[in-house]
Structure 1
Amino acid sequence: MFVRTAGVLDLPAIRDLLVETWHATYDAIYGADRVAAINDDWHALASLKARLDRLDAEFIVADDGSEIAGMAFASASDEGKTVVLHQLYVRQGRQGRGIGGMLLDEIIDSFPDADTVRLEVEAANARAIGFYTAEGFVEAGSTQNCGRQDSGIPALIFERKLV
């Protein structure tokens, strides 16, 4: 397994991974119809492609040569001092094998001036909370609009200091 920068040709596989993991994780929380609508909006190929072109961001995949097993997307804020981890997902069948940690480490290494990593996580997503807590993150607040300003999706905010 190796981690590399995502490219345009990866986008269909990344979308498939996101659709799979979102349904597996969030159908029981939000319902399959709402998850499908979020996937169609947030994980549309055009939405994913727009992330590739951001200069203040890093979009990476975990690839074993035959399958993309995970992906992560993060951007810089606060003049590069804070990394906002927007997405980190690993295929259901590949979780628990260190792929998430590899992706997180690469994201952190991609922002050498950062002193904090921040992310939002659904409060009912115990597996993700367990992962981030094991990686040194602590709860730092909450939001009523996870992912974007008008989402209406509540989430916990976690942070990890890097210095």
Structure 2
Amino acid sequence: MSVTVRPVASFEEYLTAMRTWRLAWRAAFDHVVPAEHLPSAELTEARRDSLEAVYDDVRDRDAVFVADAGGVVGYAHLVTDTDRTGAFVPDDDAELHALYVRPDRWGEGVGSALLERVESACSEATRLVLQTFAANEDGRAFYRARGFERVGDHTFEVGGESYPTVVLAKPLRN
């Protein structure tokens, strides 16, 4: 399978990336989060409108990459601005805010290609840090196999409920 990882090129492509996120979230976390709090597979018109403002913001301030294999099959969102990283991210580190692959493409190297591109974009950071649900055993195994280690615990709120997360970090080559 040939995949090219590159910056997101348009709002429409960003919407496709968000559909990828929705499908991956439903598949990966259906055993973690109650069904009523999982995102629907389709975007409503209201959600599409709200994502336009989000796209303008992240396009100008963060790095959003897509994995293209004749269409978007995955995406990653990197945050390097310390004013925008999560509370669990130390000042000298970058945050992998999101990395999602369409479930029908899991196991094909798409996530690894996205992660490599994100790491290459972290020129100033000491480490790449992320949080994932503590119950996300597959995700934790993916990151451990790529050099991430557990450095802490945190929580993430979904639907008014807090869920335990683990914070993982990987030293970067600078």
TM-score by length of 2: 0.79
Q: Within 5 A, what are the aligned runs for 1:1-163?
A: 1-6=3-8, 7-36=10-39, 44-45=47-48, 46-47=50-51, 49-54=53-58, 55-65=60-70, 67-78=71-82, 81-145=92-156, 152-163=162-173
Q: Kindly state the Cα deviation for residue 78 of structure 1 after the two structures are TM-superposed.
A: 4.4
Distance 1:139 1:48 in 2: 34
1:2–1:64 Cα contact (<8 Å) kept: yes
Q: Kindly state the Cα deviation for residue 11 of structure 1 after the two structures are TM-superposed.
A: 2.5
Of stretches 51-60 and 4-13 in structure 1, the one that deviates more from structure 2 is: 51-60
Distance 2:149 2:29 in 1: 22
1:145–1:155 Cα contact (<8 Å) kept: yes
Q: Kindly state the Cα deviation for residue 153 of structure 1 after the two structures are TM-superposed.
A: 2.8
Aligned length: 157
1:5-63 CA-partner distances (Å, limit 9, x unpaired): 112121231122111111111122112111138x97xxx44347524533441101001
Point out the structure with the larger helix share: 1
Distance 1:146 1:160 in 2: 24
2:62–2:81 Cα contact (<8 Å) kept: no
**Structure 2 unaligned spans of 5+:** 84-90
**Structure 1 unaligned spans of 5+:** none
1:62–1:103 Cα contact (<8 Å) kept: yes
Which stretches of structure 1, 4 residues or more, deviate above 6 A after TM superposition? none
1:74–1:83 Cα contact (<8 Å) kept: yes
Give, as a single letter, the amino acid of the residue that structure 1 aligns with 2:75.
Answer: M
**Sequence identity of aligned pairs in percent?**
24
- Aligned pair in 2 of structure 1 residues 18, 50: CA closer, same or farther (>3 Å)? same
Aligned-residue RMSD, C-alpha: 2.5
Q: Kindly state the Cα deviation for residue 99 of structure 1 after the two structures are TM-superposed.
A: 1.0
Distance 1:56 1:111 in 2: 14
Greater RCO, 1 or 2 (C-alpha within 8 Å, sep 6+): 2
Q: Kindly state the Cα deviation for residue 101 of structure 1 after the two structures are TM-superposed.
A: 1.1
TM-score by length of 1: 0.84
